[in-house]
A and B are shown apart, each in its own frame.
Chain A
Amino acid sequence: MARILNPGTTAPDFTLRVTPDQNLTLSELRGQPVVLAFYPADWSPVCSDQMALYNEVLPEFQKHRAELMGISVDGVWCHAAFAKDRRLHFPLLSDFHPKGTVAQTYGAYRESEGVCERALFVLDSEGTIFWSYCSPIAVNPGADGILEALEELSKQESTHGRVESTSHSK
């Protein structure tokens, strides 16, 4: 298994395609927690699909004002078809060209297969990795770890008395 970036590390910034004509830059999301879910490929079987599961948990992530993003090496058109089929309500980023570059900077790329690991990162509102986890590639890691990390993060940020005044509209 790859050695993914540890908590305390600044999350490497990136700009990736999110739709055929739109990019998304990580640093633009400062001011709120971010969940990055690297996954090997679109179109895994429906009842065990990690992205379909996160789609159902989305309201819980939003309670923590967290923005969820899925990342794989699939192309934007593939992502668009997958998101439509599964009725996903969060963005899928395309680490397609040069392939896997962003995943590599997070230590979440499997060179042998040419796909992303199943690696999860929760970033705090300043873009520092607060929690990370790499699941065996065939195992859907579920959402419990992410939720626990977001709760812990909310607790810490409120005890530090941080008030986020910036709001980012989509």
Chain B
Amino acid sequence: MAVLKVPVTANDHIQGDKNAPITLAEYGDYECPHCGRAHPIVKAVQRHFGKQLRFVFRHFPLTQIHLHAEAAAETAEFAGAHSRFWPMHDLLFENQQRLGLPLFFELAKGLGLSSSELRSALETGQYAPKVRADFLGGIRSGVNSTPTFFINGRRHDGTYELEDLVQDIEAELLEMKVAPG
């Protein structure tokens, strides 16, 4: 079974209680239509499990077939450097049909960030190494498509439909109760 080879650390983008028993990690691509569909589902999973779950997002852009995916990921990282990762993350998925530089600058401005700073960060590839590191970590962990989810480090091989994700997470919670530690 494929397992997460790169542990979740403070360098990750993490949403939720840091002591949550469940860590749901997603490798995703802002231009991937499946990731776009999964985005509200992840929100629903987060609502369902509340404090029991923390969510981690890592970049896995397929840059040759999704021409805006790399810049979108770097835009999210730019926002993250200014503590605005999650709002930017949501906006990128919510505006998936309009991905491109004009949108990235507009979203940055809307979040109170400097669009000229974003432009120079994209031009110099300031956040490209972080995005590539996420991608390569994903490759090492057996990510083979987007989105790929890991539940407490184990790859979720079912679909990303709500029932499937909830079922697997509940099974994991049960297993932890049966065999604590």
Contacts and interface: CB of A to CB of B under 8 A. Distances in A.
Q: Are A and B co-members of a single complex?
A: yes
Interface of A: 46-50, 52-53, 55-57, 60, 86-89, 139-144, 147
Interface residues of B, number: 21
Q: Which of A139, A143, A147 has the most CB of B within 10 A?
A: A143
Contacts of B35: 47
Contacts of B33: 47
B146 interface: yes
Contacts, number: 54
Interface of B: 2, 29, 32-35, 61-65, 135-136, 139-146
User: Main SS of chain B's interface residues?
Assistant: loop
A56 B144 contact: no
B1 to A, nearest CB: 12
A47 B139 contact: no
A150 to B, nearest CB: 12
B142 A56 contact: no
Contact of A144 (B32, B62, B65, B142): B142
A60 B29 CA distance: 20
A60 B2 CA distance: 20
Given A47-B33, A56-B135, A57-B139, A142 B144 contact: yes
Given A60-B139, A142-B143, A147-B139, 4 more contacts: A56-B61, A87-B64, A88-B64, A142-B142
